[in-house]
């Protein structure tokens, strides 16, 4: 049995309303930008460029500031993950590795390093969790305020 060919498609009937709307809109002149628009755009770009780095987007921060931010956030995330996934023993192992990695900085603050090493693991878990939660809350607040308060073009 051979398939039957499809019946030929007829062209759609022109819609008079659509044709009238199209013709009317085509007859309108193209909108033009206000004469002051270019000056306002350039002034806004100059204003944004003049802001201090900490008031710009994170991508506009100096590389060293972005690196410190990422390292701090990463350290907090690692401490939190170690506290929640491996418990006290896992956190103690991570802190031992961290202490070994920071040993060259021990000359700058041996009292601080000693105090951190002597803290109970439960305290360190709580501090790591509080640090990460605070960092996330501040980041969420900054992003929300930026969206709400930043003027949109």
With a cut of 90, say whether residue 40 has pLDDT above it: yes
| Residue 89 structural domain | 60-149
* Assigned domain for 54 exists: no
Per-residue pLDDT reduced to its tens digit, 77-87: 777 776 676 66
* Assigned domain for 38 exists: no
Q: Considering the chain, what is the average pLDDT of its residues? A: 81
Query: For position 27, what pLDDT does the model report?
Result: 93
As a whole-number percent, the residues of the chain with pLDDT over 90 amount to: 14
* Assigned domain for 27 exists: no
| Weakest-pLDDT range from 9-13, 31-35, 43-47 | 9-13
Question: pTM of the prediction?
Answer: 0.35
**What's the chain's Rg over C-alpha atoms?**
31
How far is 47 from 25, CA to CA, in rounded Å?
38
* Assigned domain for 2 exists: no
Number of domains making up the chain: 1
* Assigned domain for 42 exists: no
């Amino acid at each position: 049995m051979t398939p039957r060919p499809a019946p030929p498609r007829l062209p759609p009937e022109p819609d008079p309303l659509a044709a009238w709307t199209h013709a009317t809109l085509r007859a309108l002149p193209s909108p033009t930008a206000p004469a002051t628009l270019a000056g306002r755009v350039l002034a806004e770009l100059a204003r944004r460029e003049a802001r201090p780095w900490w008031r710009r987007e994170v991508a506009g921060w100096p590389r060293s500031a972005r690196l410190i931010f990422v390292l701090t956030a990463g350290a907090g995330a690692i401490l939190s993950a170690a506290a929640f996934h491996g418990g006290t023993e896992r956190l103690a192992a991570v802190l031992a590795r961290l202490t070994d990695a920071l040993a060259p900085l021990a000359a700058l603050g041996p009292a601080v390093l000693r105090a951190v090493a002597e803290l109970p693991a439960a305290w360190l878990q709580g501090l790591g969790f509080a640090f990460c939660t605070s960092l996330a809350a501040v980041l969420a607040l900054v992003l929300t305020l930026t969206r709400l308060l930043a003027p949109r073009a």
